Each structure stands twice: as C-alpha cells, then as structure tokens.
Structure 1
Amino acid sequence: MTSAVTTDKDKSEKSSRAGYGQLLRTPGALSFVLPGFAARLPFGMLTISILLLVQHTTGSYARAGVVAAVTGISMALSAPVMGMLTDRYGQSAVLFPVVLLHGAAVGTLTALALLGAPVWALALAAVPAGASVPQVGPMVRARWAAKLEGSPLLPTAAAFESVTDEFTFVVGPVLATALCTGVHPAAGLTTEAALTVLGGLVFATRRATQPRPAGRGAGGEKHGSALSFAGLRVLIAAFLGIGAVFGGMQVSLAAFSNEIGNPGANGLLYGVFAGGNMIAGIACGAIAWKIGPRRRLLLGYAGLTVAASLLWTVDSMALLAVLGLLVGLCIAPALITGYTMIESLVPAASRTEAFTWLTGAVAFGQAAAVVVAGRLTDAYGSGAGFLVPLAATALALVTLVALRAKLAPKAPSRIVNASTAAREEQADGRGLGHRVPVAVD
C-alpha cells in the first residue's frame, strides 16, 4: 500500500512539472511576470523598428543594417556588465537609471533619423540606445530561479520564460512593422521607448520578489564571473547562431516583401516564423523529456540547420511562410534547453550574468547577421540574405558537436563560487539532481 501511495505521489509530482497554471499560481509570480512582459516586449521591436526607419530615411538596407547592428552590438557588450551589476547591487538599483537612459537615447536616435542625419551620426546615437536596453528577461529568470529553488517547477519556469521570449518576437516585430508602415516610420521606435520606460519602472518597483544581491551576502565576498565556466562559453557560441537566424530573417523577409511589391507582408511572414517558435516553446514546456539536454540541444540545432538550408531557394510567399514556420519550430527547443542548462552549469550568485551573456549572444549574432544580410540583399536580393541563417546555424552545430563534453552537468559541489551565500545555496540544492532526469548523451 505504501508503495502504491508513493507511486501516485511521484506521478502527481511529475505531472505538476509541466503545469503552467500551477507555475503562475506561485505566490507573487504575477506581480513580476506581467510588468516583466511589458518591459520585454520592446526587445522584439527595437531592431526591426530601427531597420525600417533608417531604411525609409536613407533608402538602403545596408545602411539601416549598420545602425541596427551597432545597436545590437552595444547591447551585447553591455548586457553582461548589466548582469554583473544586477547580481551585486540588485535589480531595482540597475533598472531605474537604465530605463530612463534608454528612453532618452532612443528619442535622440529617432530625431536624428527624421532629420536626415548621416549614417555615422545615427550609428553614434545607436550606441547608448543599445547599451541601455534593460535586461528584464534575465532578471525575470533570476527571480524564478530564486523563488523556485529546489522546486520541480523550475524547468517549467525555464520553458515558460522561453515561450514568453518567443511571444515577444511574434508580437514585437508585427507591431513594429504595423506602426512603421501604417502609422509613421518613427512610430515603432517611439512605442518601443515608451513601453520600455513604463514597463521597466513598474517591474523595478516589485522589490519583494527580487533575488538577494550577492554584494550584500555574508561578508560581502566577491564571486567569480559566469564567463569562467566553460559550459556557458559553449552556449554563448551556440546562441550566436540563433541570433543570426533572427537577424537574417528580419532583413531577408523585409527585402523579399519589397521584391514582391507587398511591404506589409513582412509583418505576416515574420509573425509566422516567430509563431512557430512560440508554438514549439509551449510544446517543449509540456513534454516530459526522456533524452538528456545535450542531445536535445544537438538535435535542435541539427533540425534548425536543415530547415534553414532551403530558405534561399524560395520565390513563393506561401512556401516561404511554410519554411519560416519550420525554422521557427526548431529554434525554441534549442533556446529552452540552453537556458535550462544554466542551472547546472553556473552557480546561483552569477546566474543573472549568465543569462545576460546568452541574451547578449543572441543580440550580437542578430546584429552581425543584419549587417551581412543587408549587404547581401542590397547586392543580390533576398535569396542571398537567407544564406546567413544557414551558415550561422551550421557553424553553431559544428561547435556544439566538437565541444559537447563541456556541457556535461556539474555536481553542485563542483560549481565553485567564492561567496559564502552561494556555497550555502549549493549545499541546499544537492538534492536537485533527484528531480532532473538524467540521460546518456
């Protein structure tokens, strides 16, 4: 009888792991999830809004790509710094000044573009606009990690956050495109700045669910950078490839829509692509995986490479939508798996920084792809631009295959951190290995 009761309990616990409803019923969760979403939505609007505005004022995708790329690179370089400051001083202390700076920087960039400023001036203004993008996504993930420490719902939270990210990439570009093409070329950036400031300030006021800053831990001891962990470095290289897919698709889909004489189709095509991403993310969070995370990561990148390999051959809007959907379906499993692996690769005291490195890698890959794809589309058409996602995902897959051993989960005692608080958290979390299925890769 005891065995039967235990089995029923185990089944109940397993079923709860995929429960999005149970996750959102976690006390205090909605207080940071909702404003966090409002503050993250602009992330999906920024690049495409800059691309469309600058292309409108200069008439060149290549020039627009340069400005968008500077924004992405600035964000990628500043994100880990913002993550380290957040781990040390707390989320509110970082968010309040950052969101206000971002609003001012985007307003300046918008004004310069409308005044017909040269590309070098726009690129210069793009530096603070990108560097001040608030890292709300990693901050939300850090709040989940702190709130659900030791809970079987933590993997579900990782999937939920990836789905939320994908949803911003569905709504953000579509909203930005609609505003830029249907209202005013600058409407996308204006809305992006307003949402960032309002959502960011509200999120920053939700102090009760913020993780304890490491700088206020016992003795105020310093902790090492998340970048010192080899597994994170491998994931960064892999996430560069995903970023390149986003950047390459944005430029190439916009160019394709112009080529067929229907610029408004860009929002629809990108929405289908990002919608596939979101659908796959929802499914991934509801699946009880029987294979290990390394194998899931490799399979995700292999599928992404195969799907991307056909994009450059397409000359039909309907077929491009189908292929874009397939590419989107392959992205979410890779993203979710990568973010979930952070828990076993990086200690808690450096986790916000680790998440920002991955977010920054996506932004950097996106920025580089926008530049390359912009030049290719200007010179050879949208088909050439679609080669960028293919090349980037193929390189990422080769990197993962070659360095997959560095992604092996570390026992809590091997995730070394200098802070006493982190060591205590790791000691408390030694039982986590019993709730995460282990599979041979």
Structure 2
Amino acid sequence: MASQPLSSAPARTSRLPGRFARLPELAGPGFLPLGLFARLPLAMLTVGTLTLVTAVSHSYAIGGMAAGAVGIGSALGAPVLGALADRAGQRIVLLVAAVINTLAVAGLLAAAYITPGYGEVADAAGVLIAAFLAGASCPQVGPMARVRWMALTTRNLSPGATGGKRSVAASRADLDTALSYEGTADEVTFVLGPALVGVLASMVAPWLPLALAAVMTITLVPAFAVHPSQQAVVPAPRNAGSGVDASGTEAERPQRRSRWAVAVVAVPVVAMVCMGTFFGATQNALSAYSAQYATAEIAGLLYAVMGLSSAVAALSVAFWPQRFSLASRWVAAALAMTALSVLLILPAGIWPMVAVLLLLGIPVGPVMVTVFSIGGVVAPSGRMATVMTALASGIVAGTALGSYLAGQLAETQGPGAAFVVSMAAAAGLLLLGVVTSLVMKRQPQA
C-alpha cells in the first residue's frame, strides 16, 4: 500500500490519554468522531430492517428474510467496494456509495409501506430486493478507516532511524493503538446501533431508525470521504506487481507468489467467519436462554455485557508489549476465549450469565484487533481495502451462519446445545491462530 504525507499542519494537543493522544495528531482533527459515527448506519441497518418489515408486514418470516437480505448484500458488496477503493481511491467510492445507499434505504422504506399485500412471502420481492441493495451499497467506513491508519502509521518509516523519520517500533506502537481504538469503535457502534433502533422504533415509529440512518449516511459518510486523511492512501496502479518480463520466463514465479498470498489472506478471512459465527450463535443462544429465566427481550442486554468488556479489552491492546508478536497474541487470546466459552453452559440464572459474559468478552476484543492487524500484514500490495472489507464481510457471513445453526439447535435441544456452536467457533479461531503462527514462522518476511 502506497502512502503520501498529508499537508503539514501543527500538531494539536489532545485530551486523549497516553498513547491514544497520538491518534488525532496522526489523522488530523475531526477524524475520530467522523470515523465513529459514520459507521453507525451500518450497525443500524440490519436490525432496523428487521424491525420495520416485521412491524409493517406482521410477519416474522418476512422480517427475518429482509434482514438476511441486508446481511447477504453487505457480505457480497463490501469486498467489491474495497476493490474499487484500491483502484479508484476511497474518496470517490465512498461518495458514490453514500448516495446509492441513501437512495436504496429510501427505496426500502417506500417498498415496505406501499407494496400491496405483502403479508405473504411470495409478495415481498420488492422489499427483499431493496433490502439487498441497501446492504450491498452500505459504505464500509470501519474497514476504510483501518486502511487509512495503516497508511498514516507507516508514513516516513525508516527502520532504526533517528531524527525526522519514525522507527518501525514507533510505527508498530501507533498502529496497535489505532487498531485497538477501531476495535472498540466497532463494539460501541454495534451495541449502540441496535439499542438506538429499539428506542426510536418503540417510542416513535418503526420507519424512523432507517430514515435516521439514511440521513447520517448522506451527511457523515461524505464528510469522512473528503477528510484530509484520505490523501494518505494512494490507489494502486493497474499493473502493479506483475513482475513478468518480455520473454515471460518469470511468469510462474509471480503466479506462485500470488497463489501463496491468496492462501495466506484466506486464513484471517476464515477467522472472521468464525468470529461472526461466535457472535451470531451467542446472540441466538442467549435469546433462548433468557426466555427460560426471564424474557427473550433481555437477550440484547445480556449480549451488550459481553460487548462492554470486549470494547475495554480491545483498548488495552495498545499497551501490550511489542515483543508479544501478533501470532502469539492471536493464539493466547483465542485460547482464553475457547476456555471461557465452555462456561456458557454452566449458569442457571441471569446474574451468573452476566458474570460469564463479562469474562468471555475480555479475550474477544483482542482477537478481533489482532486478526485485523494480521490482515493488514499479509494483504498484497495495493489490496489493503479489499482485504479489510473481506474481513468485515467474514463477520457478517459468519453471524448469519451462527444464528442459523444456533437457532436450529436451540429450537430442538435448548440453549445449552446452541452454545456448543459458540464453543466450536472459538475453537476454530484457536486452530486458525496456530496455523497463522506456523505460517509466520515459516514466512517471516510477511
């Protein structure tokens, strides 16, 4: 990934503590709040669609299908947006996506209210198409922000240098800090987004959350798109990395390197599918669990408990020692996550489950931060946005998979069986962490 310095401006004093005070200096004023709130519409879209369509159609089946269409659209559309950003630059891609997504959400609102008689699944085609388009066009602010941080923290990089240029160690510390902040921002928005949908839909009207999401998209995303930090990310040239001479004698070697790069990148992407599976299964299992001891509606509050400790733990990654390698972090955090997930089957009440979820969230945030970091390390040159959006898509696809599997088990065998899916997903993360550790030892130049 190529980078270029932003316009020189005097560093501003930040009120953020410790290492996090560096972030506004690196990215410039306004980047942190813009990056946080511009990703909120994505966090509201799935739940907002489910709430709206279910309320209007009076059908849980159609509401679930519409929410699923949003998820499928997002999983397929995000890597496309990332690839376009790698080629054309973030600014134009985000601006166009913001306009298209706003129109798609407006179309979804219109289809939900004007489609005649779509209380039957067969009549809901217009709503499902609009939901798919809204998901596919949703601007991927979180992954794009991570790409900017990776460019910003490697500007003027010089191993072991003193003076004006920054050392590799300083760059690594800044990147750890930035990505730990991004992990916390994701956790906060994906707790705040559904909560905001619930409050607005119940107190005002079911259409309001999506309308607000559209307004935020058309205002905040363009502001994020044109923020000066986007200048640090330079689009990749179309013929970058070909490495083939006129005689073609070097054709096989670049192809082998390309296949190896794809295989290495696939590991963190599959890991994010496992992470999403863990999230989706835990959400669904908690719904069944809370119905046994209270009401199913408090499942969201229980899940938010895990999100709280996960967000705090993600921030702590900025202070982990640099000699603790990325692969070792992945293995250690995933091992703790696997062991603690076994505790999910033990509680016999709401408060014991709260305690378990608080503990379980501690390794979750560091795993997410580390996988995104490794994704940045192994991303091929000029494909950073593609990889970051593929990682985000893996979470979306895995969440749908985990929700489905846990739902089936919870329906037939109860919440205990549904939690087994969460345990299996955590074990999958551990296995992939071990694979990554072995690969990085074999290919240290990554």
TM-score by length of 2: 0.78
Shift of 1:239: 1.0
Q: Deviations over 1:287-345 (max 9, x none)?
A: 22543221211222222222333334545222222222223222111111112223432
Q: Does the residue aligned with 2:86 lie in a helix, a strand or coil?
A: helix
Q: Does the residue aligned with 1:185 lie in a helix, a strand or coil?
A: coil
1:389 corresponds to 2:388:
no
Q: Which amino acid aligns with 2:185?
A: T
Q: Report if the CA contact (8 A) 2:28-2:228 is conserved.
A: no
Relative distance call for 1:51 and 1:292 in structure 2 (3 A) is same
1:34 corresponds to 2:37:
no
Shift of 1:20: 0.5
Q: Report if the CA contact (8 A) 1:95-1:204 is conserved.
A: yes
Relative distance call for 1:204 and 1:341 in structure 2 (3 A) is same
Corresponding residue for residue 99 of structure 1? 98
Q: Report if the CA contact (8 A) 1:102-1:133 is conserved.
A: yes
Relative distance call for 1:212 and 1:333 in structure 2 (3 A) is closer
Shift of 1:261: 5.5
Corresponding residue for residue 182 of structure 2? 161
Distance 2:53 2:142 in 1: 27
Corresponding residue for residue 136 of structure 2? 131
Q: Deviations over 1:185-227 (max 9, x none)?
A: 3433333333223211211222453334324x5xx53458899
1:193 to 214, 223, 233: 214
Relative distance call for 1:389 and 1:339 in structure 2 (3 A) is same
1:145 corresponds to 2:150:
yes
Corresponding residue for residue 88 of structure 2? 89
1:356 to 381, 389, 411: 389
Instruction: Return 221-230 or 81-90, whichever deviates more.
Output: 221-230
Q: Report if the CA contact (8 A) 2:261-2:380 is conserved.
A: no
Relative distance call for 1:258 and 1:54 in structure 2 (3 A) is farther
1:179 corresponds to 2:215:
no
Shift of 1:379: 5.0
> Which structure's residues are more often helix, by fraction?
1
TM-score by length of 1: 0.78
Distance 1:42 1:394 in 2: 32
Distance 1:408 1:60 in 2: 53
Q: Report if the CA contact (8 A) 2:179-2:369 is conserved.
A: yes
Q: Report if the CA contact (8 A) 1:74-1:130 is conserved.
A: yes
Distance 2:353 2:310 in 1: 15
Shift of 1:78: 1.8
Corresponding residue for residue 221 of structure 1? 239
Task: Give the unaligned 5+ runs of structure 2.
Answer: 1-15, 158-165, 243-257
Corresponding residue for residue 338 of structure 1? 371
Instruction: Return 230-239 or 40-49, whichever deviates more.
Output: 40-49
Relative distance call for 1:148 and 1:306 in structure 2 (3 A) is same
Shift of 1:61: 5.8
Relative distance call for 1:319 and 1:279 in structure 2 (3 A) is same
Task: Give the unaligned 5+ runs of structure 1.
Answer: 1-15, 416-441
Relative distance call for 1:213 and 1:402 in structure 2 (3 A) is closer
Shift of 1:365: 0.6
Distance 1:370 1:300 in 2: 23
Distance 1:252 1:62 in 2: 19
Q: Which amino acid aligns with 1:140?
A: A
Distance 1:76 1:194 in 2: 23
Q: Does the residue aligned with 1:349 lie in a helix, a strand or coil?
A: coil
Distance 1:302 1:23 in 2: 30
Distance 1:388 1:294 in 2: 24
Instruction: Return 86-95 or 147-156, whichever deviates more.
Output: 147-156
Corresponding residue for residue 25 of structure 1? 25
Relative distance call for 1:191 and 1:269 in structure 2 (3 A) is farther
Relative distance call for 1:261 and 1:310 in structure 2 (3 A) is same
Corresponding residue for residue 278 of structure 1? 311
Distance 1:351 1:301 in 2: 24
1:369 to 392, 402, 413: 402
Q: Which amino acid aligns with 1:284?
A: V
Q: Deviations over 1:404-432 (max 9, x none)?
A: 42244856xx56xxxxxxxxxxxxxxxxx
Percent of aligned positions that are identical: 31
